[in-house]
Structure 1
Amino acid sequence: MSGNEKGRKRRFGSVRRLPSGRFQARYTGPDGLTRTAPRTFETQRSSAQWLVETEAEMLRGEWLDPDAGKVPLAEYADRWVRERTLKTRTREEYERHLRLHVRPYLGHVAVNEMTPAKIRTWRADRLNDGVGESTVAKTYRILHAIFTTAVDDDELIRRNPCRIRGAGQDKAEERPTATLDQVFAIAEKIQRRYRLLVLLATFAQLRFGELVALRRSSVDLAAMELRVRLATAEMADGSQVDDDPKSEAGKRPISLPQALRGDIELHLATFAQPGRHGRLFIGAQGGIPRRRNFNRVWKKALKEAGIPDDMGLHLHDLRHTGSTWSAQSGATLKELMARIGHSSTRAAMIYQHANRERDQAIAAALDVLIEAARGEIPA
């Protein structure tokens, strides 16, 4: 039955009655291939209406190839990662999240069969299985990005099935803030080659990867300025790679408190590798410090400095500590964002680069805090 209910030949597509009594619609797509509707219909009228809607989609340029979206999510996600221009460490991170948290649960589902309900169930199951909220949020953001490509670029589906409000937001746990006395106590007790690392983590608010990537040439003693250009990342195979910081904002000059001049000069003379491009920090065996090895040194220093175990203080917490003190020293939000190298798409129109004079003023204010603390704790 290719005509309509009144017997006239149908202009677009055809409808036939199946032995079951239901109706099947067929049509020729823009690619010249004959396709069958993904479902059958109870009445001839409903099947004809579906053909009208399908023809309208083709005329508006909104028709989607129903076969293209049949690719399993695991296959599509792997291709998505391969085609992205990603830093090595970021690529490894994406692949790990997909391997551990997506492929075993959603990998077999076709892209065009993914629904908001499936995504909600997947997320709830991961959380109920004890996967950390931050990990689930990160994986959700990756999934959202993958399906955005499927909608906007590849036109495999009409809408992104990742629609859970707030699911991609990290809910960071409250981290401890050290006191000035605690910072200098740790700096005194840690291995001497890492004393300056503790101070720069605090007063320059650097990440571990940024710290171990510093070179002699990163330090301008005349201007008391640090130039951050690289970050060292540890790969899954154990190799260490110098790469760009987490964002363009991570490439930044940082004014240093004058009170650290003596510490920097002593470190350069004693521990830094020779040559302009020698590393500022090296391990006891001459290699690039690794997080795991450094953590053992860090924990020993915490114990000797009398830092309570239940405080749970990590090296990265010194970055937060220093940022807090910078704010208390008068830094504006824009200046803080520039100093710590933070950037995000949401903040791109709000946060601007701090000017050099104000950054130096922040460092000068930190000087006051350092000198006050050193009045009680020797450098």
Structure 2
Amino acid sequence: MERLRSGRWRARYVGADGRLRSAPVTFDTRGEADRWLVGIRADLLRGQWAPPERAEVTLAEYLTAWQRQRAPQLRPRTRDLYARLIARWLAQPVGTGRDAVHLAPLALSAISPPLVREWFAAVTTTAHQRAAARLLNGSGASRRTGDPARAWARAQGLEVAATGRLPRSVHAAWSAAGRPDVRPAPEVPADAGRTTAAQAYRLLHTVLTQAVSDGLLSSNPARIAGAGHVAHPERLPLTPAEVNALAGAVPDRYAAAVLLAAWSGLRPGEVFALRRRDLDTSTATVTVRRTLVEIAGQPISYGPPKSAAGRRTVALPAFVAAALAEHLLAHTTDTSPEALIFTTTTGAPVSAPARSSVLRRARALIGRPDATWHHLRHTGATLAAISGATQAELQRRIGHSTARAAAIYQHATTERDRTIATALHELGTARTATNVRALRRA
């Protein structure tokens, strides 16, 4: 500490990098300067000290460097997701008016836990509003069920069939009335947008954790309990009967894909990236070597499976292998080894929106409006568990790197519980009979 001509006190110290630095301000008394140095020394001893000039790095600057450095390690879809999350929730203000929160121009040192809470509250509100708007307007209107012309005709008291083609006169009258849509608007779930908010929070937390590791922050200010977690409703697997019904309800060229997804546990992108050379009908196996890569605004491409464990050969039930062989004969003309097994009617890869469209009407017909292609993967994993697959066997079959991830798909079912109860009954009655005979002999 040094007293200046002005009478104020200057404090200086040597940082962990060996450089001599002065406090950013001077002090009225020697005691104030001493207390400030005590805090600096404590940070040095705890290993929490960071060069003060580093703390002036803004979040925007750090995000740019973080994206550039992480890009080689990320899958294309993950890179695209991070870029969209940063552009929407971190690079621009979130919220409206005075309540808007803009983190990007702030120095990392200025991002505090209360500020992160304000930001997350704004993200949650805005994400909900955007999700509700998509559901109720524009593209969201397509989620209304039924034919708008049919619904209007019924509202007018006209007798029209529940299904099938409407008479031209009804369509003409509906058009003359301005093509109104009287179908009830879909209900907006209370948690709409919650997944987006959780993704944005997890990304911010990850970035700031790296900033702590880089010595730019002493601790992570993003520490909101549960903010990065989304409680999804339980994904109920389909029964074998429902799988068969769904396969019969989709267009013929996709029936084998439904069976394959439900009995193999393959991811949707893996199913629709399979080529002829990946299928061996003689051994009833498929080998997963790649997956579809779908990024908005870009043509569909192919990349490696989600993880190293995703590269695997999966044995199929004989009836699924037979269905695939029949599919190749009926719906494919390209017999080269590199030809896709499943394509659209024009021979193009089947995109995620096209896959969803395939199931939309079929799942309503079988009474499972919740069913998606991921439900079919979940079904395949659950059926394998019911069949007696061990944790390690299930992990390998569905292509998960960790046992914890594979355990997600091991759900108890009534049928399996009954099997266990039967086995317990047999065990219990056998022991009881043995004990009774022993008592009688005694």
Q: TM-score range by the shorter chain?
A: 0.7 to 0.9
Distance 2:339 2:287 in 1: 15
| Corresponding position of 1:46 | 32
Letter in 2 for 1:145: T
| Corresponding position of 1:308 | 367
How many pairs align?
331
Is 2:353 the partner of 1:292?
yes
Distance 1:315 1:241 in 2: 19
Distance 1:187 1:332 in 2: 28
| Corresponding position of 2:56 | 70
Is the 1:134–1:171 contact (alpha carbons within 8 Å) kept by the matching residues of 2?
A: no
Classify 1:333/1:188 alpha carbon distance in 2 versus 1 (closer, same or farther; 3 Å): same
Letter in 2 for 1:288: P
| Corresponding position of 1:327 | 385
User: 2:326 aligned to 266, 288, 305, which one?
Assistant: 266
Classify 1:62/1:158 alpha carbon distance in 2 versus 1 (closer, same or farther; 3 Å): closer
**Shift of residue 141 of structure 1?**
2.1
SS at the partner of 1:106?
coil
| Corresponding position of 1:212 | 272
Is the 2:281–2:322 contact (alpha carbons within 8 Å) kept by the matching residues of 1?
A: no
Letter in 1 for 2:359: W
Deviations 1:5-30 (A, max 9, x none): xxxxxxxxx89755xxxx65345656
Distance 1:170 1:246 in 2: 21
Letter in 2 for 1:103: A
Alignment of 1:1-379 (within 5 A): 2-3=2-3, 25-27=11-13, 35-38=21-24, 43-54=29-40, 63-84=49-70, 85-104=73-92, 105-131=102-128, 132-152=193-213, 154-272=214-332, 273-303=334-364, 306-308=365-367, 311-343=369-401, 347=404
**Shift of residue 298 of structure 1?**
2.0
**Shift of residue 147 of structure 1?**
1.5
Letter in 2 for 1:2: E
Classify 1:316/1:40 alpha carbon distance in 2 versus 1 (closer, same or farther; 3 Å): farther
Letter in 2 for 1:93: L
Distance 2:338 2:248 in 1: 27
Classify 1:29/1:207 alpha carbon distance in 2 versus 1 (closer, same or farther; 3 Å): same
Letter in 1 for 2:30: Q
Letter in 2 for 1:97: L
Deviations 1:273-327 (A, max 9, x none): 4211211111111111112123222223334xx2237x32222211112222222
Classify 1:179/1:55 alpha carbon distance in 2 versus 1 (closer, same or farther; 3 Å): closer
SS at the partner of 2:397?
helix
Classify 1:158/1:62 alpha carbon distance in 2 versus 1 (closer, same or farther; 3 Å): closer
SS at the partner of 1:227?
strand
Distance 1:162 1:59 in 2: 24
TM-score normalised according to structure 1 size:
0.77
Classify 1:116/1:56 alpha carbon distance in 2 versus 1 (closer, same or farther; 3 Å): closer
Distance 1:62 1:34 in 2: 17
Deviations 1:10-51 (A, max 9, x none): xxxx89755xxxx65345656687644356656421322322
TM-score normalised according to structure 2 size:
0.67
Is the 2:127–2:196 contact (alpha carbons within 8 Å) kept by the matching residues of 1?
A: no
SS at the partner of 1:253?
strand
Unaligned runs of 5+ in 2: 93-101, 129-192, 408-442
Is the 1:116–1:161 contact (alpha carbons within 8 Å) kept by the matching residues of 2?
A: yes
Distance 1:326 1:347 in 2: 16
**Shift of residue 181 of structure 1?**
2.1
Look at both structures and tell me which one has the larger radius of gyration over its CA atoms. 2
Is the 2:250–2:362 contact (alpha carbons within 8 Å) kept by the matching residues of 1?
A: yes
Classify 1:16/1:339 alpha carbon distance in 2 versus 1 (closer, same or farther; 3 Å): farther
